Amino acid sequence: MKKKLIILFVVAILFVIAGTFLIGQSKEMVFRMNNGTEPQTLDPAIMTGVPEFRIAMQIFEGLTAYHPETLQPLPGVAQSWTVSKDGLVYTFKLRTNAKWSDNTPIDAETFKYSWLRALAPETAAEYAYQLWYIKGAEKYTNGEGKAEDVGIKVVDKYTLQVTLEAPTPFFISLMSFQTYMPVPKHVIDKVGSDKWYLKDNIVCNGPFKLVEWYPNDHITLVKNDRYWDAAKVKLSKVVIYANEDNSTSLAQFAAGELEFQEGVPTEQMDTWKVKPEFHADPYLGTYYYMINVDPAKQTNKALLDVRVRKALTMSINRKYLVENILKAGQIPAYSFVPPNMPGYKGYIGFKENVEEAKKLLADAGYPGGKGLGSITIFYNTSAGHKKIAEAIQQMWKQYLGIDALLENQEWKVYLDRRQQHDYQVARAGWIGDYVDPNTFLDMWITDGGNNDTGWSNKTYDDLINKAKYEQDPKKRMAIFYEAEKILMTELPIIPIYFYVNVYTLQLYVKGFYGNILGMHPLKEVYLLKK
Amino acid sequence: MLKFIVRRFFSSIITIFVIITVAYFLIRAVPGDPFSSEKNMPKEIRENLNRKFHLDQPLYKQYFMYLNNLVFHFDFGPSFRSRGFSVNDLIKQYFPVSLLIGSLAMIIAVILGVSFGMISALNQNKFGDYFFMSYAILGISVPMFVIVPIFLLIFSIGLKILPVGGWKRASDVGIIGMIPYLIIPIFSLSLPYTAYITRMTKAGMMDIIRKDFVTTARAKGLKNSTILFRHIMKGSIIPVVSYVGPAFAGIVTGSVVVEQILGIPGMGRVFVQAAFNRDYSLVMGDVITYSLLIIVMNFVVDILYGFLDPRVKYS
């Protein structure tokens, strides 16, 4: 009797499974992607991360929008723009047919409101400083200035005039950036600044609009028919998952349940690397080790000697790391600014040279590593960082006779200790915010918010400041080159490799390009399924 | 009985208060903060953020503010990470998912575990016994992060009859549409619980089978099935009941591993994420939900005891 029941039960389950698979698939053009994590917010003024921006660029549109391949600014809500001779005043002509998905029109006032809101101290937007190129903006955020003094002027309904603190050659490319996107005043006034972007309230002005949001699960977007360029939008639906497990999302991709997903675990790299669905695009980011050069905090004083730092830098075999550990086509780094930065060639300040490294170490008073003590490599817990640290540990031991210890901490503790200069050598990574060397170099100024090394160099600070006011692009790049030369001679940081953006994409996806920011506007993407 | 309930109620309140207080100060004592990231922000902006989330107030003031909101408004506060969502909203989203998977897994674990345990006990040192005891050892010792990928490998990638993880809602695909997404999480989650229950049932039955009252029942000539269900089972299920109560609280608050690997938006995964993100309010919300459940379940178990075991008195 019991046996029969069990058999019956199993058969019933199998029937149900078969049934669900037989339910016909609809003919909609649906793009399913894994975004890797739950977005922290969908308020473009508040968001800071890549996963958030990836969604925002589908549902909102700034004055300009990224070209999917080159990232050049394409007309968005702005039809055209002009820049004054001194590079300080930008005048944007807005299109008259831009509107929110509830049909409320978008005009110059919308942008003035949105930008001032992002700057306002009570909004507490982390990326407010992305708008600090605008005159008076920084003071307003810091509570020292007034909103009226910020250089944003509505000339007429569809003309917006922006005055900057200093000529900023990359200002136009920032117009596609999240912090500069418009937000709907009429909705915010009604439901509040913290709730307007939730599913039931949100209105969008991009190619898609949000219709579903299940936290930690998925977000569903559908085509926004009120988008001014809706005729070009081919996908009817975009489903964005928040799955953090890379192995599972890769398996889902392999099973045809996803069109796009990012990352391939290193242990599966060899299998995937050869498939046509695999992509590894150059990325605007650098993986590096930073050295604590704060004399008050560095516990191994040998690291304060530039010769020791140089010896450490020269004795890392980057080609080995890239080919045997990372395996996805990462590029060995001998400069800090990635090589794919348009118009700029990074300063190459050192070569890998074990003999010279040994000599330098001896000159510094530590022949064969004697008397130097041990160096602790500090990294945030991750199998990938560990493998690299272990390889470098081996290299330093073998080539220089230096004992390196490894220490890992969970992400937030790691960040905390880094900021307090409580480490000897720490792993770090930097992803550019915009396509300009400035995003890599201005962080190393004395007491710069992201300069966790304690490094300070007056000439360097002056050069970075000079670049701010230089209008001639060629001269400007030359200044950056000089600055990077100092950075790569003093070596408070050891560049290791340049990131690649690894992802898998189904072959039937068309109109989807790789680019150095890893940003993928889905506006003109379509699927060629049989 | 009433006296017992009233007393339990008050001791529960004290327990929960102690848990809240300890958890609150513990999570705040952990290094790192909710707003740190690879990119540091200017000091002034940081101050604006602190003001917005009241982190600029002294800790004891924040604690009393938290208690006040919790007790008088049953408000867990806004999430530090998922901006715009309150912790109440988030728990409302995540808890039902874990509750559904957990309850189904528990039901299956009890049904299978009790049956397997009984079969083992009645077939001592025969094939059935060895088979289910090996199964129990396997279920207890093989960790979840091995079981789930093996299931995925067999059923999703090999046989292609089940989806590779993911989650669907009844509102989108209907209850029947949900089933393929439920099978792997439920069966993998129930495996260790089934194993424990199998062993407990077997041990309980072996104990009871030798008791005098069973021999008496046999001597009276009662039918085997009557002896089994009326006399043996009632006694041998007591350890299972005391196990299932707290285990139920554990299983419905979600399994980190199962939810993480399969990408299921449940409580377990979120709890761990919240701790890593230093999402103070969400961690607190999870801790409180979990402790409430444990307290309630223990309470239920204690009451059930009285019905199953006549020796227990509520005094």
Beta-carbon contacts below 8 Å between A and B: 163
Task: Mark whether B27 and B109 lie in a shared domain.
Answer: no
Distance from CA of B113 to the nearest CA of A (A): 15
CA distance B66 to B63: 5
What average pLDDT does range A358-384 have in this prediction? 93
Q: What are the pLDDT digits (tens) for B28-86? A: 999 888 988 888 888 888 888 899 889 999 999 999 999 999 999 999 999 999 888 99
B45–A245 C-beta distance less than 8 A: no
Task: Mark whether B131 and B213 lie in a shared domain.
Answer: yes
Report the residue of B28, B30, B35, B45 to disrupt the A interface, i.e. the one with the largest count of A CBs within 10 Å. B45
Distance from CA of A123 to the nearest CA of B (A): 8
User: Is the pLDDT at A27 greater than 80, yes or no?
Assistant: no
Q: What are the pLDDT digits (tens) for B278-299? A: 999 999 999 999 899 989 888 8
Nearest residue of A to residue B275, measured between CA atoms = A412
Q: What are the pLDDT digits (tens) for A406-418? A: 999 999 999 999 9
* Range(s) of the domain holding residue B165: 91-276
**B78 beta partners:** B86
CB of A491 within 8 A of CB of A347? Answer: no
Task: Mark whether B96 and B69 lie in a shared domain.
Answer: no
Distance from CA of A16 to the nearest CA of B (A): 7
CB of A224 within 8 A of CB of A211? Answer: no
What confidence category does residue A182 fall into, taking pLDDT thresholds of 50, 70 and 90? Answer: very high
Task: Mark whether B161 and B32 lie in a shared domain.
Answer: no
CATH of the domain at B147: 1.10.3720.10
What average pLDDT does range A453-465 have in this prediction? 95
B94–A17 C-beta distance less than 8 A: no
Q: What are the pLDDT digits (tens) for B77-133? A: 999 998 889 999 999 999 999 999 999 999 999 999 999 998 998 888 888 889 999
Distance from CA of B223 to the nearest CA of A (A): 18
Task: Mark whether B149 and B20 lie in a shared domain.
Answer: no
Q: How many helices (H) and strands (E) does chain A have?
A: 16, 19
Element (H, E) at A70: none
Nearest CB to A255: which of B51, B156, B277? B156
Nearest CB to A126: which of B33, B45, B169? B45
CA B135 remoteness from chain centre: 22
What average pLDDT does range A257-278 have in this prediction? 93
Instruction: Provide the number of structural domains found in chain B.
Output: 2
Nearest CB to A449: which of B40, B49, B278? B40
User: Is the pLDDT at A524 greater than 50, yes or no?
Assistant: yes
Task: Mark whether B96 and B48 lie in a shared domain.
Answer: no
> Looking at the domain assignment, is residue B148 inside a domain?
yes
Per DSSP (E only), the strands in A151-299 are 152-156, 159-163, 208-214, 218-223, 237-241, 260-262, 278-291
Task: Mark whether B208 and B68 lie in a shared domain.
Answer: no
B45–A215 C-beta distance less than 8 A: no
> Looking at the domain assignment, is residue B257 inside a domain?
yes
| Chain A neighbors of B90, CB-CB under 8 A | 215
What average pLDDT does range B260-287 have in this prediction? 91
> Looking at the domain assignment, is residue B130 inside a domain?
yes
| Chain A neighbors of B160, CB-CB under 8 A | 255
pLDDT for res A25: 46
pLDDT for res A311: 95
Distance from CA of A463 to the nearest CA of B (A): 21
User: Is the pLDDT at A340 greater than 90, yes or no?
Assistant: no
Nearest CB to B179: which of A20, A41, A128? A20
> Looking at the domain assignment, is residue B270 inside a domain?
yes
Task: Mark whether B68 and B96 lie in a shared domain.
Answer: no
Nearest residue of A to residue B266, measured between CA atoms = A216
A217–B167 C-beta distance less than 8 A: yes
What confidence category does residue A24 fall into, taking pLDDT thresholds of 50, 70 and 90? Answer: very low
Of B45, B73, B101, the domain-final residue: B73
Nearest CB to B41: which of A142, A413, A449? A449
| Chain B neighbors of A288, CB-CB under 8 A | none
**What is the DSSP track for chain B?**
-HHHHHHHHHHHHHHHHHHHHHHHHHHHHSSS-TT--SS---HHHHHHHHHHTTTTS-HHHHHHHHHHHHHHH----B-SSSTT-BHHHHHHHHHHHHHHHHHHHHHHHHHHHHHHHHHHHHTTTSHHHHHHHHHHHHHHHS-HHHHHHHHIIIIIIIS--S-SS----HHHHHHHHHHHHHHHHHHHHHHHHHHHHHHHHHHHHHHHHTSHHHHHHHHTT--HHHIIIIIIHHHHTHHHHHHHHHHHHHHHT--HHHHHHHT---HHHHHHHHHHHT-HHHHHHHHHHHHHHHHHHHHHHHHHHHHH-TT----
CA distance A120 to A138: 10
| Chain B neighbors of A411, CB-CB under 8 A | 32, 276
Six-digit token pair at B243?
């196990």
> Looking at the domain assignment, is residue B11 inside a domain?
yes
A413–B166 C-beta distance less than 8 A: no
Nearest CB to A450: which of B39, B173, B183? B39
Task: Mark whether B218 and B263 lie in a shared domain.
Answer: yes
